[in-house]
Structure 1
Amino acid sequence: MDDPERRARLRLARSSRIGPVTFGQLIARFGTAAAAIEAVPTLAARGGGRPPELADPRRLNDELRRVARAGARHVMIGDPDYPALLEQADAAPPVLTVRGDLSLLDRPSIAMVGARNASAAACRFARQLAHELGQAGATIVSGLARGIDTAAHHGSIDSGTVGVIACGIDIAFPPENAELQDRIGEQGLVIAEQPPGTEPLARFFPRRNRIIAGVALGTVVVEAALRSGSLITARLAAEAGREVMAVPGSPIDPRAQGCNALIREGAILIQSAADVMEQIRPIDARAVRAPASHWGAPPADDATDSDRIAITALLGPVPVPVDELIRQSGRPPAIVQTVLLELELAGRLERHAGARVSLTGP
């Protein structure tokens, strides 16, 4: 991509109501981000709402300056060095901000996640496991959170570690990990999906978790309660067809109940680095590459008013799988996706995990 197209893609990705799925569909349909930006108001009007607010070019200039000051750069989907495993995901981030060595993800990568309030024994085990996996040639990926994440990064800092954060590339969170994050940026790799200057908000952590799971061949959960973000990461890994592994713990420790539940549900029980490498060694991350046309062919025809009425009538406040809409409406998949795209740009549709959608209002 030339510089004007890269800037247009950044602007499209930073615009309101344009998430990864919508971004991909717009590029597939119009070929370039510049053409997609011009078409957005018309599509939103067909969806019955006002167009989304496109990112101000002046804000893009500010973002480019802040990224440069942080010693980072943008990587866009379709770039040769965009993480190959992540590029396969349906909702792969259109733009990543990275600081460090992206080639670390050419090696077999393993995500390690767990409790923030982890026990001392679990942190020690995570640090040792990460160290041994690094010595075996793996790259360790985690979220730079307190507890297990921090232990995993410390254990693999010298062999190769990747920190995925839920804020801007120039923000350190938690604050006590500022020095660790800086070291990872110099010796390993830090990845952020949010623009620079973005503070960590609760809704950004599940998005970060999908990146952690997406760049790795498998995810190891070391210690986790039944309702924790680590189990979200494990679920996302399973949905992506990646290995899910868990370290067993005491049944009387609430912090181990999530891991034990994963094992009961089919996750692989892990007790050593050899156990992990046995699961991921047959796969080579460098052999994985998404197809050149990541988003597929654009729809051949626009939807008609009758298509819009029929498809919208099937939607409501309860999320429904897109495949079910295609089946019940009897419309071609491209037409259904076109109507959903129009509704989302109009602010009337919300996308959920598992390729499900719902209406946001009347």
Structure 2
Amino acid sequence: MSGGNSTFDKLRLIRSPSVGPVTYRQLIARFGSAAAALEALPDLARRGGSARFALAKAELVEMEIAAVASFGARHIFLDGDDYPPLLAEIDNGPACLTVKGRIELASQPSVAIVGARNASAAGCRFARGLAQDLGGQGIVVVSGLARGIDAAAHQGALSCGTIAVIAGGIDNIYPPEHAKLQAEIAERGLLIAEMPPGVEPRARHFPHRNRIIAGMALGTVVVEAVPKSGSLITARLAGEAGREVMAIPGSPLDPRSRGCNQLIREGATLVQDAGDIAELVR
């Protein structure tokens, strides 16, 4: 496999040690193509006096490409036409994503809906209805396929278009009880993973997933969240990316509302329905 813009060359460059999103951009800008950058890496390593720029093993790259294809998925790259345009704007957007489903959804206006895993029944019902209403207004719903609010948002938006960003590899089902929902999203919506196939999600992967959720969307809505939760991390990342941060207010008596109320106190926009959200992001 060769060629300046082939999947193999790009993936081998990205999987090489110490080549993250920023380095990938720099190497492509400097050398013009992944193939040219791969040729230059050994010399860069020698001049640097270390193996920092050692190349990824060709057979491992070929195995990954085969595994992704066998799952019915494919790789997309930061400098490709089908890469999510808003995600490309953030400094640390992944150099490579694995996708399965309707890739056109990634370039449509979208809003992230996130919230508590141990959400209340009312919170899940609200998130489901909110996602359905946003879909009806032509807004794609992005979330993380977690238990609680995330799952409810995906369910509400499934008929109109929803994007699930998962923390493990594209072939990993997590949590296990979402196997049917994950399969439906891969068929009717879009499933996205940053990790290579075969990777099971670990705690360290979730903040990386959260930056993709926030980076893809025009804004992030938090429905229920306890203080110091992952949902608040997603909201913070959205704010840092210059996107809208929105929250659904709740009772001070419910710990799951404290994170949302805290966001509103700190400057997030209080929203109560899809109309409020659409008005902010359009």
**Length-normalised TM-score, structure 2:** 0.95
> Per the alignment, do residues 191 and 272 of structure 1 end up closer, same or farther by CA in structure 2, a change over 3 Å counting?
same
Query: Counterpart in 2 of 1:33?
Result: 34
Query: Counterpart in 2 of 1:230?
Result: 231
Query: Counterpart in 2 of 1:196?
Result: 197
The CA distance in 1 between the partners of 2:145 and 2:73, in whole Å, is 17
Greater mean deviation of Cα atoms: 248-257 or 145-154? 248-257
The CA distance in 1 between the partners of 2:106 and 2:41, in whole Å, is 35
The CA distance in 2 between the partners of 1:254 and 1:54, in whole Å, is 49
Query: Counterpart in 2 of 1:241?
Result: 242
Query: Counterpart in 2 of 1:215?
Result: 216
Structure 2: stretches of 5+ with no match in the other structure = none
Structure 1 residue 268 corresponds to structure 2 residue 275: no
Q: In the TM superposition, what are the counterparts of 1:134-149 in structure 2 within 5 Å?
A: 134-149=135-150
Q: Tell me the secondary structure at the aligned position of residue 249 of structure 1.
A: coil
Identity of aligned residues (%): 60
Residues 255-311 of structure 1: per-residue CA shift (max 9 Å, x gap): 111111110111010111111111112xxxxxxxxxxxxxxxxxxxxxxxxxxxxxx
Q: Tell me the secondary structure at the aligned position of residue 16 of structure 1.
A: coil
> Per the alignment, do residues 193 and 59 of structure 1 end up closer, same or farther by CA in structure 2, a change over 3 Å counting?
same
Query: Counterpart in 2 of 1:117?
Result: 118
The CA distance in 1 between the partners of 2:221 and 2:162, in whole Å, is 15
Q: 1:91 Cα deviation (Å)?
A: 1.2
Equivalent pair of 1:11/1:54 in contact (CA under 8 Å): yes
Q: In the TM superposition, what are the counterparts of 1:46-57 in structure 2 within 5 Å?
A: 46-47=47-48, 49-57=50-58
The root-mean-square deviation of aligned C-alpha atoms, in Å, is 1.6
Q: Tell me the secondary structure at the aligned position of residue 84 of structure 1.
A: coil
Query: Counterpart in 2 of 1:100?
Result: 101
The CA distance in 2 between the partners of 1:31 and 1:165, in whole Å, is 31
Residues 65-103 of structure 1: per-residue CA shift (max 9 Å, x gap): 111111111111222111111111111211111001111
Q: Tell me the secondary structure at the aligned position of residue 190 of structure 1.
A: strand
Query: Counterpart in 1 of 2:67?
Result: 66
Query: Counterpart in 1 of 2:25?
Result: 24
The CA distance in 2 between the partners of 1:211 and 1:270, in whole Å, is 23
The CA distance in 1 between the partners of 2:23 and 2:93, in whole Å, is 11
**Length-normalised TM-score, structure 1:** 0.74
The CA distance in 1 between the partners of 2:155 and 2:240, in whole Å, is 29
> Per the alignment, do residues 36 and 110 of structure 1 end up closer, same or farther by CA in structure 2, a change over 3 Å counting?
same
Structure 1 residue 178 corresponds to structure 2 residue 179: yes
Q: Tell me the secondary structure at the aligned position of residue 61 of structure 2.
A: helix
Higher relative contact order (CA 8 A, sep 6+): 1
Q: 1:56 Cα deviation (Å)?
A: 1.2
Tell which structure's C-alpha radius of gyration is larger: 1
> Per the alignment, do residues 102 and 5 of structure 1 end up closer, same or farther by CA in structure 2, a change over 3 Å counting?
closer
Structure 1: stretches of 5+ with no match in the other structure = 282-362
Q: 1:54 Cα deviation (Å)?
A: 2.4
Q: 1:4 Cα deviation (Å)?
A: 6.0
Q: Tell me the secondary structure at the aligned position of residue 275 of structure 1.
A: helix
